[in-house]
Structure 1
Amino acid sequence: MAMKVKEVSELASISVRTLHHYDEIGLLVPDETTSAGYRMYSDANLERLQQILFFKELGFSLKQIKNIIDDPAFNAEEALHMHKLILLEKRQRLDQMIATIDKTVLHLKGEIKMTPKEQFQGFDFSQNPFEQEARQRWGDHAVNEANQKLMHQPADKQKELSNQMNDMFRRLAALRHIAPESAEVQAEIKQWYMTLNQIGSYSPEAFKALGQMYVDDERFTQNIDQFGEGLAQFMANAMAAFTDTRI
């Protein structure tokens, strides 16, 4: 049964103006418009709107969402599975952070003694914050491949990769005061390159461009510099040096 725009607005808790905007940019065009000009949304429209809102929740731009959903290779079921995995992981991190807050309150009261490791449980900066920009710069292939690989890996393997990436950030932070071209730094950067290619497909050129993104976007810089001030710039320089010896 077709629904009017006001009904869809109330159902999905988004404004009528937003739905009009989605129509104007071709993101969500209602299957029917009455002779009086009323937009009428079908069940298929509602399914598409649900996908739009899932991707929006994960931080994708409207342009990216349109490109992804309109891709002939887009599979709604696979996308829902991906959404679920990401949300479950987010919920797990939030649960960890809540537990850390509770422990920290007790720690401040002197009722328990927290180890440094316990103080930072739930803070995980190894998650890939570059998915949106990677889609824009290199298309969906590398990112989709990475998502497929991650989806088919057991939880313990995903956790292992997360810990591995955190450890590499810390080791690189400890080396950031020496030359990016040095053998010691390049050995670590080679490991970084190999690790990224466990969950994606990055050519040397894409790897260098990814490093440049670490400094071009302040959000990435802030995330990476949590491990040490200036780490993002240092990694960008080291990744460029790594690539320049291979092309």
Structure 2
Amino acid sequence: MALTHAVIGFGRLAQALVPALRAAGEAVVVGRRSPGAGEFMAAAAAAQADWVWLTVPDDHIATTASVLRWRAGQLALHCSGATPLSALAAAPAAAGFHPLKLLAGEAGLAGVHVGIEADAAHRPALEDLARRLALQPLALPSPMDSRARAAYHAAANLAASGVLAVLAEAATLWDEAGLNGADALPALLPLTRGALDTAAARGLAGAVSGPIARGDAGVLQRHLAALADAGLDADLLLALGRRQIALAETAGRLDAAQAAGLRALLVPR
């Protein structure tokens, strides 16, 4: 059965979702506070739709859902990894459809995993839609309790913006080395991409490299000294180093004595 979709809000996610839905042959109406040509106010868009996507900011999802006039058979969806489906309690049925993709740059969704939180009645249709959008369906528990949701969203955030914190630390050390700061990201990003590409091919343990993976305590001591010279706290390197040791052990790169010696250097002082 052909469905009509209403997408309420037109931020970055909606700007990727609407063309993807249309390219998959879906009928889509857009609802927003200041409608453009061919668009509608939110209530008018929702009234035309079978599935209503609330792509507004997380803090506005529950409020937006509560003011729409729902009818039997409609499905409300949000695309937030952090917001519980209870925010859509005003709707007859609710589901989550959370693409694991940063949308600050390239807007396309194709190729990424999408977390789907839905009841048995709606999950098959959502998984089918995901595949037609060239997404990889990822089944989330339904209902997803608050502890699981927090862990899931923290994992996604750590894998995204968490990497930026590491690169910021690296850029500070680059400056400390007396190098041109403008060169830091262009020079360092290929290393990051290479590590990620290797992890995709070999798994996390198979991709670990550097002095910790080699058991090189002397180089690690010099890295810690460089942090002190740059006026940086050692907490990030210490935490990352301990986790790298665990990966290196999993990969069989370190024996017990090497791991113990490295851990001794990575104790907070």
Q: TM-score range by the shorter chain?
A: 0.3 to 0.5
Could you tell me the TM-score, scaled by structure 1's length?
A: 0.34
Whichever structure has more strand as a proportion of its residues is 2
* Structure having the higher Rg: 2
Higher relative contact order (CA 8 A, sep 6+): 1
TM-score (norm 2): 0.32
